[in-house]
């Protein structure tokens, strides 16, 4: 079984239905929320794959995790029922990830993560955002800034699969590699 192809097909189907009903952006936010839930609580994925937990409880857990339980969101509820019927509820993490990727591709949205050793000043952050926006050629940016003291100084910028590393820790690592190679 291909665990990349199947979730992507489900995510594509969800995106098509959500777009037809005009709720693709709402579903995107819900899938991002669900994706974050899986990152924050790795046991969530284990719970969905646990054969001793009822499918109804798994469905309720997913709907709660993506913030749908209290709303009358028919698209997500119907989708979760489909997964339940097809025995694919355990793939929800991969489907959520695939949906987020597909939505970003379709809407030219780029996830930009800036890690710095200390909080950037507003002027530096504005300048950095401007430079990144030029690189995106008109695409939209979802910007996240993270303080990571292990960088010692400097910063890293990740845009999709690209990464620019201007950190002191990277410079030290490069210097060490150069010294070891001689």
Which pLDDT tens digit goes with each residue over 133-152? Answer: 888 888 898 888 988 888 78
- Residues in Cβ contact with 77 at an 8 Å cutoff, skipping those fewer than 6 apart: 63, 68
Q: Quote the tokens at residue 6.
A: 């199947």
pTM: 0.80
Whole-number Å distance between alpha carbons of 130 and 124: 10
CA distances (Å), 85 to each of 6, 51, 140, in order?
15, 15, 36
* Residue whose entry in the numeric block shows the structure tokens 């192809």: 5
CB atoms within 10 A of CB 37: 19
* 30: its two tokens: 């819900």
pLDDT of residue 1: 44
| Predicted confidence (pLDDT) per residue in 57-89, tens digit | 998 999 888 877 666 678 999 999 999 999 999
């Amino acid at each position: 079984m291909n665990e990349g192809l199947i979730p992507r097909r489900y995510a594509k189907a969800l995106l098509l239905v959500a777009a037809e009903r005009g709720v693709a952006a709402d579903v995107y936010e819900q899938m991002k929320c669900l994706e974050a839930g899986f990152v924050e609580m790795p046991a969530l994925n284990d719970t969905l794959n646990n054969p001793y937990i009822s499918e109804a409880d798994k469905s309720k857990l997913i709907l709660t995790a993506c913030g749908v339980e209290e709303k009358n969101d028919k698209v997500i509820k119907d989708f979760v029922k489909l997964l339940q019927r097809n025995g694919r509820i355990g793939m929800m993490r991969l489907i959520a990830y695939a949906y987020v990727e597909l939505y970003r591709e379709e809407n030219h949205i780029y996830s930009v993560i800036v890690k710095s050793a200390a909080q950037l000043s507003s002027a530096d952050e504005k300048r950095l955002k401007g430079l990144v926006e030029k690189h995106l050629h008109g695409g939209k940016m979802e910007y996240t800034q993270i303080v990571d003291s292990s960088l010692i100084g400097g910063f890293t910028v990740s845009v999709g699969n690209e990464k620019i590393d201007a950190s002191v820790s990277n410079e030290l690592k490069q210097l060490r590699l150069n010294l070891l190679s001689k």
